[in-house]
Amino acid sequence: MARPRKVISMSTGKISKAERAARTEEEKKIKVKANHLTAPEWLTDKAAIEFERVVQEASQIDMLDNLDLSVLAIYCDNYARYIEMATYLNLHNPVFETDKGYQMVSPRVTILNQCAKNIFTCSTKLGMAVTDRLKLIVPVKEEKSVNKFVKFLGDGTHD
């Protein structure tokens, strides 16, 4: 399995000037504007703060654009809910006893786990970890160069 191609700014391998220029142009083609990355009004205060933090950090490497708005909002919403549930569960026992004496896990544990799952899914799509960012650039198949001496080999049969 081929390794995912790195963003040209993060590549450390030997790359010709022509290939570097071509890859830079390819990366520019997949970017759209990032002028509408503001927290939606429906986000809670904690979620909006996380939204602004991520946008500010991501702007340093020009990572997010307007098409990422909905995924980023979902990430931030789940982030805020995760903090809320984790805080509650740190203060209260995650296991409670029912009226009939059965031990049950708090539904907040389920919410916490679902939020964690959503956070990981969204953060992967947004490229929030270095390894995720490296996977976001789709590699282009390079054409194999034709050996100019192949024509001298003949058809492979011997007389």
Q: pTM (2 decimals)?
A: 0.67
Q: Answer yes or no: is 4 within a domain.
A: no
Q: Answer yes or no: is 10 within a domain.
A: no
Residue with more model confidence, 108 or 17: 108
Please name which of 45, 112, 106 lies closest in space to residue 82, comparing C-alpha atoms.
Answer: 112
Q: Answer yes or no: is 158 within a domain.
A: no
- Look at the chain and report how many structural domains it folds into: 1
Q: Answer yes or no: is 154 within a domain.
A: no
Residue with more model confidence, 29 or 104: 104
Q: Answer yes or no: is 15 within a domain.
A: no
Q: Answer yes or no: is 156 within a domain.
A: no
Q: Answer yes or no: is 48 within a domain.
A: yes
Q: Answer yes or no: is 66 within a domain.
A: yes
Q: What is the pLDDT of residues 58-79, one digit of tens each?
A: 888 878 888 888 999 999 999 9
Can you give the residue range of the structural domain that contains 81?
20-139
Separation CA 57–CA 128 (nearest Å): 10
